[in-house]
Amino acid sequence: MRTAILGGGSWGTAFAIHLVRCGHAATLWTRSPEAARTLADQRMNPVYLPGIELPDELAVTHRCSHALANADTVFFAVPSFAVRETARACAPSLAAEVPLVHLAKGLEPCSGLRVSQILEQELPGHPLFALSGPSHAEEVAAGQPTAVVLAGRSTSLGKELQEQLMAPVFRVYLARDLLGVEYCGVVKNVLAVGAGISDGLGYGDNTRAALVTRGLAELVRFGTALGAQQETFYGLAGLGDLVVTATSDLSRNRQVGIRLGRGERRSAIIADMRMVAEGLHAAATLWERAQHHHVDMPITEAVYRIAYLDESPLQHMRNLMERPPKWEQP
């Protein structure tokens, strides 16, 4: 394939490295001319992926037209809140019917739209896919075994992409439930912030395991209420990604939660971060959608209230433990 990767953060850089390892021509686009020069000159991404050498075959540019020239597959690796702006910037240079694969795991602020919905609005007529699952950028870049899921509506094209993206250390499964896979990425990030809050309060494995398990129940309730397939939530995009994001030291969402649990404010955390923790940005939008659809999501509500209303993490942990008794399986 001739590929363009839009977004020079940690995941975009790692995925570009993976594409080159698969033998594909790859051009990595980053919006900043300074960042593009640094990547091209140092053959490394010192800000987002330090210590990982970029392959000589990987081209780097800050010009959308250069990245998209002759590309037959385009990967969106920008945060969800930057997808619309990026799509508009690349629209004039994008060839018709080129498949678009997005790697983001969030919702657009205010509108609450999923990434595929944004791309459908801004770049109509292109086959759309989401690539998701437990896939820390650092581990993918280092060539560690990873399994992900590729979701889209076109089965035949999905199979072609699956074959092109597979590698001895990178296994790709196919799914048709695009909506479910996208919502998995959104909700698990918010739940991972909640698990981090528990860690920041000083609680241990029991508490984290309870939050992950009951968080999975929230994910299932929310996703099925919006039309997703229940099986999706027990796969790589759901349970798999939730476990790794809620427990790993590499998880930005968990690290943000730890800081919230220790009493830091959301504004200070955001100001101090170079990378994006999608769960922190998605918490308010997700909670609004849960209310709109009348879905009970107590952990999501707690994360929202702690992060956006500066309410007490300790009090919300007590609130969760003191909820009325209920059956685990209604």
To the query of whether residue 105 is one of the catalytic residues in this protein, the response is: no
* Angle (CA) 295 299 304, round 5°: 90
pLDDT bucket at 275, cuts 50 / 70 / 90: confident
54-113 pLDDT, tens digit per residue, is: 999 999 999 999 999 999 999 999 999 999 999 999 999 999 999 999 999 999 998 999
- Binned at pLDDT 50, 70 and 90, residue 329 comes out as confident
Of 324, 322, 303, nearest in space to 215 by CA: 303
Tens digit of each residue's pLDDT (9 = 90 or more) over 207-266: 999 999 999 999 999 999 999 999 999 999 999 999 999 999 999 999 999 999 999 999
Q: Where in the chain is the domain with CATH 1.10.1040.10?
A: 179-321
Q: What is the pTM of this model?
A: 0.95
- Which CATH homologous superfamily contains domain 179-321? N-(1-d-carboxylethyl)-l-norvaline Dehydrogenase; domain 2 (1.10.1040.10)
- Bridge-partner residues for 170, per DSSP? 146, 167
* Enclosing H/E stretch for 129: strand 128-132
Q: What is the CATH number of domain 2-176?
A: 3.40.50.720
What pLDDT score does 34 carry? 95
CB 107 within 8 A of CB 188: no
In the structure, what pLDDT confidence band is assigned to residue 163 with cuts at 50, 70 and 90? very high
The mean per-residue pLDDT over the stretch 198-213 comes to 98
Residue 330 clears pLDDT 80, i.e. is over it: no
Predicted confidence (pLDDT) per residue in 37-55, tens digit: 999 999 999 999 999 999 9
Reported as a single tens digit per residue, the pLDDT across 15-42 is 999 999 999 999 999 999 999 999 999 9
- In the chain, which residues fall in CATH 3.40.50.720? 2-176
